[in-house]
Amino acid sequence: MSELPAESSDAKEALASGAATIQDPTGLHARPAVKLTKLAKAHDATIEIRAGEEGKWVNAKSPNAVMKLKAGSGEILFVRAQGAQADEAVKALVALIERDFEAE
Amino acid sequence: MSDFVGIVIVSHSPNVAKGTADMVREMVGDEVKVAYCGGNADGGLGTDVAAIHGAIDSVFGAQGVAVLVDLGGAETNSEMAIEMMDEERQKAIVICNAPIVEGAVMAATEAAGGGSLDEVRATAEEFLS
Amino acid sequence: MEPETIKALIRRTHEVILAHAEELTDLDQAIGDGDHGINMKRGFDAIAAAADAIAELPCGKALEKAGMTLVMSVGGASGPLYGSLLMAMGKAMPEAPDSVGDIAKAFQAGVEAVMKRGKSEGGEKTMLEVLLPVATSLKDAGALDIGVLRKTADAGLASTKDMKATKGRASFLGERSIGHLDPGARSSALLIHAVCDVIEGK
């Protein structure tokens, strides 16, 4: 993916990004938003998400910000991360979205 | 599990208090301790200082406790209950200025992520901003 | 203070609250959540049940215990408010109060605790409309004048009728709270009259 944090060019830390489509017919509603936030918080990385190409990047660890995305069904959620666990974080979040927020 | 900030839900209605706690557990999980109380000693609408005191005590840990309240008396009674705690403990208990249900879910989510008491309160209070 | 006096105070305040519980509830139904009568009744029932134990204590401790009993039993905002009043009065009361000045000082401390607990300075259609002028009247009085105390409490209560509530549940009503007496001010006035009754030996 080409979406990298703007300040990434001089950053030495690992960068990662990914994307997945929201499957739930009601979109990214409260419960999945909480799951996503919790999973993001479990990783040592700065993690941001946005809904669609034009969406604004928001902190994936902020439950308020994630809920306010109001991402709808079929929308693509983009994930980008920077930090020690950036790779793991993006993989885990993309996997969560892809399995429709079900438990593993 | 005193590693997480504990959450206390104080409503005038026992059903609202329990329902809010259920919602938090279902949405956020079991790792964060959640206690709730609602209703007066006769089972009617109201809040009970002794019950609030007990609820805070039951979830108190190293990270402190965030309290979510509904209307007027719930806040007054919660303040009273907090003042009845040891002075050391009082510093680690906050009442969040947030809607009770949404605030509880937000606070618990932040707590489950290992957030500090200040972060938990900020996340709960951010909901309306 | 004699245990018998403390018992008489408990008995009289309890009687008055019981006799007016319905009126307090009616007032509260107009502008609050309608539980003031039942809450006050529960609180003063609990004090009456503990009357023997309370009456054995020195005056200050007796007030503190009565206040704590209210806090633990009322189940509405009035519990911590009246509880704070009595507990702060108790703390400020000398072991053997022997002047109006002692009582005035203790009452002032109690009213300040209510202001702090209720986050109000007065003028907001609350029990403070009765308590504040009574505190001032006590402070300014050289000698205890029961008639003046009663009148001060009644005038304070009456003043709540035309006030707009900006504190508590009644504040949700805004303008519509105008025209109703405040139930907390009514219970405060009732309790002051009850104490006056005991002092007058009724």
ipTM: 0.76
Q: Do A63 and B106 touch (CB under 8 A)?
A: yes
On whether any CB of chain C is under 8 Å from the CB of B39, the answer is yes
Each residue of A34-61: pLDDT tens digit?
999 999 999 999 999 999 999 999 999 9
Model confidence, pTM:
0.78
Strands (E), chain C: none
Q: Do C80 and B40 touch (CB under 8 A)?
A: no
The average confidence (pLDDT) of chain B is 92
Tell me if B54 is assigned to some domain.
yes
Quick check: A2 pLDDT over 60?
A: no
Element (H, E) at A59: strand A58-59
Tell me if A7 is assigned to some domain.
no
pLDDT at C28: 92
Strand-by-strand arrangement of the B34-38 sheet: B34-38, B6-11, B65-69, B93-96
Quick check: A12 pLDDT over 70?
A: no
Return the closest-CA partner of residue A81 out of A91, A72, A90: A90
Residue A28 to chain B, least CA–CA distance (Å): 13
pLDDT at C65: 97
Tell me if A4 is assigned to some domain.
no
Quick check: A78 pLDDT over 60?
A: yes
Q: Do A34 and B28 touch (CB under 8 A)?
A: yes
On whether any CB of chain C is under 8 Å from the CB of B79, the answer is yes
% residues pLDDT > 70 (chain B)? 98
Tell me if A6 is assigned to some domain.
no
Q: Do C75 and B46 touch (CB under 8 A)?
A: yes
Question: Tokens 């249900």 correspond to what residue?
Answer: B101
Q: Do A30 and B113 touch (CB under 8 A)?
A: no
CATH, residue B93: 3.40.50.510
Domain C3-199 has CATH 3.40.50.150: no
Each residue of B14-53: pLDDT tens digit?
999 999 999 999 999 999 999 999 987 777 888 989 999 9
Contacting residues of A for B27, CB less than 8 Å apart: 30-31, 34
Residue A34 to chain B, least CA–CA distance (Å): 6
pLDDT at A5: 53
Q: Whole domain around residue A40: which residue ranges?
A: 14-98
Pairing of the two strands A46-51 and A15-21: unpaired
On whether any CB of chain C is under 8 Å from the CB of B80, the answer is yes
Q: Which of B28, B115, B123 sits opposite A64 (nearest CB)?
A: B123
Q: Which of C39, C72, C168 sits opposite B49 (nearest CB)?
A: C72
Average pLDDT over residues B103-127: 94
Domain ranges of chain C: 3-199
Quick check: A1 pLDDT over 60?
A: no
Q: Quick one: DSSP state of residue B68?
A: E
pLDDT at C167: 77
Average pLDDT over residues A58-74: 92
pLDDT at B44: 81
Q: How far is Cα of residue B117 from the mean position of the Cα atoms in its chain?
A: 12
Tell me if B1 is assigned to some domain.
no
The average confidence (pLDDT) of chain A is 88
**Under-70 pLDDT residues of chain C:** 169, 202
User: Hey, of B34, B101, B109, which one would you mutate to test binding to chain A, going by the most A CBs within 10 A of its CB?
Assistant: B109
Count of structural domains within chain B: 1
pLDDT at C60: 95
pLDDT at B56: 98
Count of structural domains within chain A: 1
Residue A102 to chain B, least CA–CA distance (Å): 12
Return the closest-CA partner of residue B13 out of B69, B88, B55, B79: B69
Contacting residues of B for A30, CB less than 8 Å apart: 27, 105
Q: Whole domain around residue B32: which residue ranges?
A: 6-126
pLDDT at A9: 45
Q: Which of B26, B109, B123 sits opposite A38 (nearest CB)?
A: B109
CATH, residue A76: 3.30.1340.10
